[in-house]
Amino acid sequence: MEKKKFIEQHFIIDSLTNSILNTISGDSFQTEVILLTKSDLKDIIKKNGWNFDWKSEFNDIKKEVYKLTIEHNTNIIQGLLSITIEADHIYMDLLESSPFNIGENKLYEGVAGNLVAYACKLSFQKGFDGFVGFTAKTKLIEHYEKTLGAYHFKNQRMIIETQSAKFLVEKYFKN
């Protein structure tokens, strides 16, 4: 049996917004989270500033890969999320903000929070009561506890439980 390789997550929750927030204008933009398509992959490469091999995530039949976009502008990807649907929870395999949404000169805030909230929303839809798991870099465990209300389970494993998941879903998905 193949042992699952866990990628240590190192996304930063810059702020929990009501969608995503333009750092220049202060305007808030509603978002959509939709499945990534094969044609999206041509620009999601290390040469363009992406840190991970999203083609490999996309080609893994056990995973679902989603893209975060601004409503009515699905060609510009704000961030990506790869998940696995487990027996009793959603596992976030990988999350990455677009290169232009990282660092002190980022264009939008709230991208990572939006994607985590989407994983929580899927968990509720699948009947998992909002439970989401992921593996964190050691130095970010406390950050995820404070910003996401995640629970440090064991080693580097983090779990978002029902109450925290509900808060995130209500923050990002009003409908």
In a domain, 74, yes or no: yes
Q: What is the pLDDT of residues 75-116, one digit of tens each?
A: 899 999 999 999 999 999 999 999 999 988 999 999 999 999
- Has residue 33 got a pLDDT over 90? yes
In a domain, 106, yes or no: yes
Name the percent of the chain lying above pLDDT 90: 73
In a domain, 132, yes or no: yes
In a domain, 152, yes or no: yes
User: What's the rounded mean pLDDT across residues 163-171?
Assistant: 94
Q: How far apart are CA 158 and CA 162, in angstroms?
A: 13
- 143: tokens are 């950050």
Residue with tokens 């980022």: 106
Is residue 83 within 8 Å of 91, Cβ to Cβ?
Answer: yes
In a domain, 13, yes or no: no
In a domain, 125, yes or no: yes
Measuring CA to CA, how many Å separate 116 from each of 4, 93, 175?
21, 11, 17
Confidence band, pLDDT 50/70/90 cuts, at residue 1: very low
| CA triple 171-155-1, angle to 5 deg | 100
CATH of the domain at 74: 3.40.630.30
User: What's the rounded mean pLDDT across residues 36-65?
Assistant: 95
In a domain, 52, yes or no: yes
Counting other chains too, the contacts that 102-105 makes at CB distance below 8 Å and 24 or more residues apart are none
User: What's the rounded mean pLDDT across residues 146-168?
Assistant: 93
Boundaries of domain holding 60: 20-172
Report the range of poorest mean pLDDT among 19-23, 35-39, 46-50, 129-133. 19-23
In a domain, 11, yes or no: no
**What is the value of pTM for the model shown?**
0.92
Say how many domains are in the chain. 1
Confidence band, pLDDT 50/70/90 cuts, at residue 3: low
How many Cβ atoms from other residues are within 10 Å of residue 148's Cβ?
23
